[in-house]
Amino acid sequence: MRLKGKVALITGGARGQGAAEARLFAQEGANVIIADVLDSQGAKVEAEINETGGKCLYLHLDVSNKEDWDSAVYSALTRFGKLDILVNNAGVAAWGTNDETTEEEWDRVMDINAKGVFLGTQSVIPEMKKAGGGSIVNISSISGIVGQAGIQPVYNASKGAVRIFTKSIAIQYASDGIRANSVHPGPIDTDMIHDRISGKENEERIRNTVPLGRPAKPVEVAYGVFVPCFR
């Protein structure tokens, strides 16, 4: 129970990677708030965690909307009294080439993947300061480090923004006891990229490009997210 007494807000927690993080954090004793726009799926994860002995609250949250963030932080404080951990997990993918990227698609991906991380971080830091510190973990991607042929560059740009944003936050708020880390997974076996990792051709590509020879399991990445949070 290495997170006993901690309060963690996890965005994109209704399914996939975020749900795996929520389950793990709850197992480790954290009070968990999962936030998403997938309300029915989020409610199911909330019920599952509570029914198995954890403490979980689901909230509707559009990460690109400041008012939603203000409401989510208020609800977390009302329910649990503080906020120790933020996992900026919510994100969207974009497949194809730069030629196929419309201005609207650019704005959509950047709003969710980059602006959402900025708004969430800005919303929780005042409460973490009051609590004497905290941990912010931002889910970037291998796409935030290297370019890739089959992904729209806007996705790489958004995840690169998350990476360097996290470094700046870590430096600016270290004296407040607030830690900031980014996690950079390769392909993870979730609904979001299921079509991109299924089938013989995709499986062969992954065997040739991923050191493990397979996509990561969500729980494997969840442990990487968990480690910076239990100090």
Under DSSP, is residue 112 helix (H, G, I), strand (E, B) or coil? helix
- 98 CB-side CA count, 13 A: 7
Q: Which tokens in the block code for residue 218?
A: 């969500």
Pairing relationship of beta strands 55-60 and 178-183 according to DSSP bridges: unpaired
Residue 74 a catalytic site member: no
Catalytic residue among 58, 74, 155, 173: 155
Spell out the long-range contacts of 62-65 with Cβ–Cβ below 8 A and sequence spacing 24 or more.
62/37, 63/11, 63/12, 63/35, 63/88, 63/90, 63/112, 63/115, 63/116, 63/117, 63/119, 63/120, 64/111, 64/112, 64/115, 64/116, 64/119, 65/119
CA distance 42 to 38: 6
Q: Which tokens in the block code for residue 230?
A: 């239990």
**Residue at token pair 């996890």:** 10
The DSSP 8-state label assigned to residue 155 in this structure reads H
Nearest to 3 by CA among 33, 27, 19, 21: 27
**Catalytic residue IDs:** 155
